[in-house]
A and B are shown apart, each in its own frame.
Chain A
């Protein structure tokens, strides 16, 4: 473009010229007229009140050695919904938690534990559920593929998924306890732990079997119709019974559940 063809973009407003008179003038004499609408003033006063209240509540005396508001007392710890609210209630809470975990399973095994004929095995009256906890834990941790006979019938679905990545030791222990105490299974269970599976027991199972890459087949479960080692607990408190008892003491079991995500 040549120099003398400067395009003027028809900018009609010279902003400086418009406002020059105002910018140039000395302050207006006070006339008491508000330039702002009243609602805007109310809004601003409201802001001032809120801001001032905020400062008043939180300033901590404007001291360099006061790190919280003055008079701060820590609140009481809220109650732990997973802990029994009153003495003697540990087991019902544990079962309730197990029922919640079971929601993961009910899709196939159904809410009544009856499964779907020919497709998903029942859990009610199943020897795999009421028998040794080790093989039950193996099934839940690593999943199962291939045919399996349950309560006299053969089942051969595409397979059950491994749950070790989704469920923590605590959750698996809860759902195992729930299954062993529901649908009449409590009458069929007979072990030293009283049908209760603890987190410690599942941790042992995960340690021993959790590294397996692929699903189990029923052959893997041979020889594991054994109870998981772990201290027997008092159903009222969930604490190990004094005087020991329960299956053989656990080895180096991790106690940190997957779910807690401690770090």
Chain B
């Protein structure tokens, strides 16, 4: 039986906790909302460009033959806009909020951060416009003209520095797994970006090695930025929603260090069999296969954490999106490992199947997890709740269907293309025609994705203008029964 003093002390402590949380939220409100809304605009724009690019592959005269609409320009424009416009901004926004919460710190230097954010957006706009106007470099995921990378690197460094400042300001020595992931991502990305750009633009070398460094960069963005930020976010959100602690903390740490040790080796397996020293793509492929181990660790951990509370996926938008993302992470690693094998590579290498893997990583895993984070974070910044659970359901299902359609279409197109190209005596026409039908499916998937995100953008705009629901109860996907709602869902 607790004494009165103990009860009061407990209440005071919890109230202090709540106040501290609110203070952290208030301090990061402006930059986080800035990154989320700008990021979503880029997501919309890049989905539109992605849709046009997809149409161009089965309907080449779609929208005419203007130079800027040619596939060779509009595809890199869409990819880079998606990556630098949406992925990095959303990731930084979520990272700032989670770090502020976990460190119980208040963010300072908001002005500098916002300026950097504006500069980042302007730079990305210039870069995308440059690609469309024919000044792109054709380096996959590094297509911006050479003068832009120092700007992007510097602004990123400024933004990530705020994460580090928060980390240093933390009140306690205890570090949560999400903090590990987020700090790691903040550190690794600029290192990889600087390396890739220096070697590709400033220090010429053998042409094939430049291509290898480029492929390595793609791998690092996926596994040393998108994966840590996505996993760090999931590791924060999922225990929060279900109200339990992570199943095995040692396992989480082990998974983190394994990803850390393996992620930097991957990427070059997409050039296996190419004109490189054979060990380089072989080592990349091996690391990609070994990544199954941290994937198993993460999967066990998250699954056991949610175990017994799976029904909450029906109610909590955050949990639903984050669970989708976590499952997609498994798919990313498995498909990545499978595509490294030479036996499958004979059919899948240099086909659409490889872009399917990138899409899973960037959209099905990262983007869906970040959607979950946004649904969790924004109400806490704008002091009102999402307007409609129905709209959230629309967003989820159209995104889920759209992304699944794109992934399935790309895999099927890739395999059929690869099988046809493996017949040495057939004309090239066969592989173009056989994949065409699947590409139509992909375009349809993009339409779904665009529509779902249009709805989401409208929804978040309402929130930003404080037009959400005034309520202390979270907006859920469905009405909760009385017995369940007694436990409350953090949503």
Interface residue ranges, A against B (CB under 8 Å): 1, 5-16, 18-20, 22-24, 35-37, 40, 43-44, 47-48, 50-52, 54-55, 58-69, 77-78, 80-82, 168, 257, 259-261
Q: Please, how many angstroms separate the alpha-carbon atoms of A65 and B272 in the complex?
A: 15
In the complex, are the beta carbons of B282 and A12 less than 8 A apart?
no
- Could you list 29 examples of A-B contacts with CB < 8 Å? A6-B18, A7-B383, A8-B18, A11-B240, A12-B488, A13-B243, A13-B244, A13-B245, A15-B239, A15-B240, A15-B245, A16-B102, A18-B245, A19-B176, A22-B249, A35-B248, A37-B300, A43-B296, A47-B292, A51-B290, A54-B341, A59-B282, A60-B282, A62-B279, A78-B424, A81-B425, A82-B425, A259-B427, A261-B427
The interface residues of chain B lying within 8 Å CB-to-CB of A259 are: 427, 429
In the complex, are the beta carbons of A50 and B279 less than 8 A apart?
no
Nearest CB of A to B302, in Å = 14
Q: Please, how many angstroms separate the alpha-carbon atoms of A236 and B291 in the complex?
A: 57
The interface residues of chain B lying within 8 Å CB-to-CB of A66 are: 277-279
The interface residues of chain B lying within 8 Å CB-to-CB of A59 are: 278-279, 282-283
The interface residues of chain A lying within 8 Å CB-to-CB of B289 are: 47, 50-51, 54
In the complex, are the beta carbons of A19 and B383 less than 8 A apart?
no
Q: Please, how many angstroms separate the alpha-carbon atoms of A14 and B272 in the complex?
A: 46
Kindly report which residue of chain B lies nearest to residue A69, judged by CB atoms.
B278
In the complex, are the beta carbons of A10 and B279 less than 8 A apart?
no
The interface stretch among B112-120, B167-175, B394-402, B411-419 is B167-175
Query: In this assembly, does B458 line the interface, its C-beta being within 8 Å of a C-beta of chain A?
Result: no
Query: In this assembly, does B61 line the interface, its C-beta being within 8 Å of a C-beta of chain A?
Result: no
Query: In this assembly, does B21 line the interface, its C-beta being within 8 Å of a C-beta of chain A?
Result: yes
Q: Please, how many angstroms separate the alpha-carbon atoms of A54 and B340 in the complex?
A: 9
Kindly report which residue of chain A lies nearest to residue B425, judged by CB atoms.
A80
Question: Could you tell me which residues of chain B, from 259 to 291, have a CB within 8 Å of some CB in chain A?
Answer: 272-273, 275-279, 281-283, 285-287, 289-290
Nearest CB of A to B300, in Å = 6
Cβ-defined partner of B176 (8 Å) among A16, A40, A54, A260: A16
Known: A35-B250, A47-B290, A51-B290. A58 touches B282 (CB 8 A): yes
In the complex, are the beta carbons of B172 and A20 less than 8 A apart?
yes
Nearest CB of B to A70, in Å = 8
Kindly report which residue of chain B lies nearest to residue A79, judged by CB atoms.
B425
The interface residues of chain A lying within 8 Å CB-to-CB of B428 are: 260-261
Question: Could you tell me which residues of chain B, from 124 to 139, have a CB within 8 Å of some CB in chain A?
Answer: none
In the complex, are the beta carbons of B17 and A14 less than 8 A apart?
yes
The interface residues of chain B lying within 8 Å CB-to-CB of A10 are: 472, 488, 490
Please name 20 further chain A to chain B contacts, defined as beta carbons within 8 Å, in addition to the given A9-B472, A15-B236, sorted by A numbering: A1-B383, A5-B383, A7-B472, A12-B490, A15-B240, A16-B176, A22-B249, A23-B176, A24-B173, A40-B300, A47-B292, A51-B289, A54-B282, A58-B281, A58-B282, A68-B278, A77-B424, A81-B425, A260-B427, A261-B429
Nearest CB of A to B280, in Å = 9
Interface residue ranges, B against A (CB under 8 Å): 17-19, 21-22, 102, 172-178, 236, 239-240, 243-246, 248-251, 272-273, 275-279, 281-283, 285-287, 289-290, 292-293, 296, 300, 340-342, 379-380, 383, 424-425, 427-429, 472, 474, 488, 490
Nearest CB of A to B236, in Å = 7
The interface residues of chain A lying within 8 Å CB-to-CB of B22 are: 6-8
In the complex, are the beta carbons of A23 and B249 less than 8 A apart?
yes
In the complex, are the beta carbons of B290 and A48 less than 8 A apart?
yes
In the complex, are the beta carbons of B251 and A58 less than 8 A apart?
no
Chain B contact residues, majority secondary structure: helix
Nearest CB of A to B181, in Å = 13
Nearest CB of A to B278, in Å = 3
Nearest CB of A to B489, in Å = 9
Q: Please, how many angstroms separate the alpha-carbon atoms of A63 and B19 in the complex?
A: 60
In the complex, are the beta carbons of A6 and B243 less than 8 A apart?
no
The interface residues of chain A lying within 8 Å CB-to-CB of B300 are: 36-37, 40
The interface residues of chain A lying within 8 Å CB-to-CB of B425 are: 80-82
The interface residues of chain B lying within 8 Å CB-to-CB of A78 are: 424
Q: Which of B251, B276, B290, B474 has the most CB of A within 10 A?
A: B290
Identify the 7 closest CB pairs spanning chains A and B, nearest first. Answer: A60-B278, A261-B428, A6-B22, A58-B282, A8-B18, A51-B289, A259-B427
Q: Please, how many angstroms separate the alpha-carbon atoms of A77 and B424 in the complex?
A: 9
Q: Please, how many angstroms separate the alpha-carbon atoms of A69 and B249 in the complex?
A: 41
Nearest CB of A to B123, in Å = 35
The interface residues of chain B lying within 8 Å CB-to-CB of A7 are: 22, 383, 472
Q: Please, how many angstroms separate the alpha-carbon atoms of A35 and B425 in the complex?
A: 55
Nearest CB of B to A83, in Å = 8
Known: A6-B19, A47-B292, A259-B429. A55 touches B243 (CB 8 A): no
Q: Please, how many angstroms separate the alpha-carbon atoms of A24 and B174 in the complex?
A: 6
The interface residues of chain A lying within 8 Å CB-to-CB of B296 are: 40, 43-44, 47
Q: Please, how many angstroms separate the alpha-carbon atoms of A78 and B424 in the complex?
A: 8
The interface residues of chain A lying within 8 Å CB-to-CB of B243 are: 12-13
Nearest CB of B to A163, in Å = 14
Q: Please, how many angstroms separate the alpha-carbon atoms of A40 and B293 in the complex?
A: 9
Nearest CB of A to B229, in Å = 17
Known: A1-B383, A44-B293, A168-B427. A23 touches B174 (CB 8 A): yes
Q: Which of B18, B177, B287 has the most CB of A within 10 A?
A: B18
In the complex, are the beta carbons of A60 and B292 less than 8 A apart?
no
In the complex, are the beta carbons of A63 and B277 less than 8 A apart?
yes
Known: A6-B19, A261-B429. A64 touches B277 (CB 8 A): yes
Nearest CB of A to B426, in Å = 8
The interface residues of chain B lying within 8 Å CB-to-CB of A257 are: 427
Nearest CB of A to B276, in Å = 7
In the complex, are the beta carbons of B379 and A9 less than 8 A apart?
yes
Q: Which of A14, A15, A261 has the most CB of B within 10 A?
A: A15
Known: A12-B488, A13-B245, A40-B300. A55 touches B172 (CB 8 A): no
Nearest CB of A to B485, in Å = 12
The interface residues of chain B lying within 8 Å CB-to-CB of A55 are: 282-283, 285-286
In the complex, are the beta carbons of B245 and A61 less than 8 A apart?
no
Q: Please, how many angstroms separate the alpha-carbon atoms of A81 and B423 in the complex?
A: 10
Q: Please, how many angstroms separate the alpha-carbon atoms of A6 and B178 in the complex?
A: 25
Kindly report which residue of chain A lies nearest to residue B471, judged by CB atoms.
A7
Known: A6-B19, A16-B102, A67-B275. A23 touches B290 (CB 8 A): no
Q: Please, how many angstroms separate the alpha-carbon atoms of A9 and B380 in the complex?
A: 8
In the complex, are the beta carbons of A13 and B240 less than 8 A apart?
yes
The interface residues of chain B lying within 8 Å CB-to-CB of A261 are: 427-429
Nearest CB of B to A45, in Å = 10
The interface residues of chain A lying within 8 Å CB-to-CB of B248 are: 35
The interface residues of chain A lying within 8 Å CB-to-CB of B340 are: 54
Q: Please, how many angstroms separate the alpha-carbon atoms of A77 and B246 in the complex?
A: 56
In the complex, are the beta carbons of B249 and A19 less than 8 A apart?
yes
The interface residues of chain B lying within 8 Å CB-to-CB of A54 are: 282, 285-286, 289, 340-341
Q: Please, how many angstroms separate the alpha-carbon atoms of A130 and B406 in the complex?
A: 52
Q: Which of B240, B276, B287 has the most CB of A within 10 A?
A: B240
